Amino acid sequence: MARHVALIFDLDGTLIDSDDALIDPFVRLGMARDEITFGHPIEEACAEWGIDIDRYIELYDTAVALPFEGADEVVRQLGRWAICSNKHTISGREELARLGWAPEQAWFSSDFGGAAKRLAPVIEAMGLDATDVAYVGDTEHDQACAEAVGCEFYWAGWNPRTRGLATGPRVLDTPERLLALVG
């Protein structure tokens, strides 16, 4: 597989096992658990589902989601890496600080004006081209983001929720597999 200068990651469901943390405020604000899906810009999801974004951010607990097994060790070994996430900026930055993670770029929803995330400005801020990077994510929206900018995409296959979405060599079964993609 191609070697890349840098890896860019989605955060929720890719590096951290945050489904329960993300669901909890929605449920506490009156939604049914089976109405909730993942990967949307948080502002758009709240608007569509009639949830007050400020209350959601207040109720979202940035202290509970843990990295997937192996993810913490791997990001600490990466030279150049970044985050490109639809997560709310306040929640996302608090979570990175708690984890002690320091990606060279961390782009969250307010960096995109509350609209869907895009990889192009993140790659540009890194001084790289799309062919230099790979994006790692857990949803079809993430895959579409990579296709839109023309970079390679890999699935966080260590998240059981990705099973059924994709098969083949781009589905990585452990975070350690990422280390072979860079260098």
Residue numbers of the site for Mg ion (CB under 5 A)?
10, 12-13, 138
Contacts of 148 (CB under 8 A, 6+ apart): 118, 119, 120
Task: Find the shortest distance in angstroms from Cβ 127 to Mg ion.
Answer: 25
Our CB check for Mg ion shows the closer of 13 and 25 to be 13
Task: Find the shortest distance in angstroms from Cβ 46 to Mg ion.
Answer: 16
Task: Find the shortest distance in angstroms from Cβ 135 to Mg ion.
Answer: 11
Q: Count other Cβ atoms within 10 Å, centred on residue 105.
A: 18
Our CB check for Mg ion shows the closer of 42 and 133 to be 42
Burial 147-167 (b: 16+ CB within 10 A, else e): eebebbbbbbbbbeebeeeee
Q: Which residue is nearest to Mg ion (CB)?
A: 13
Residue keyed to tokens 């990422």: 178
Task: Find the shortest distance in angstroms from Cβ 162 to Mg ion.
Answer: 10
Our CB check for Mg ion shows the closer of 81 and 127 to be 81
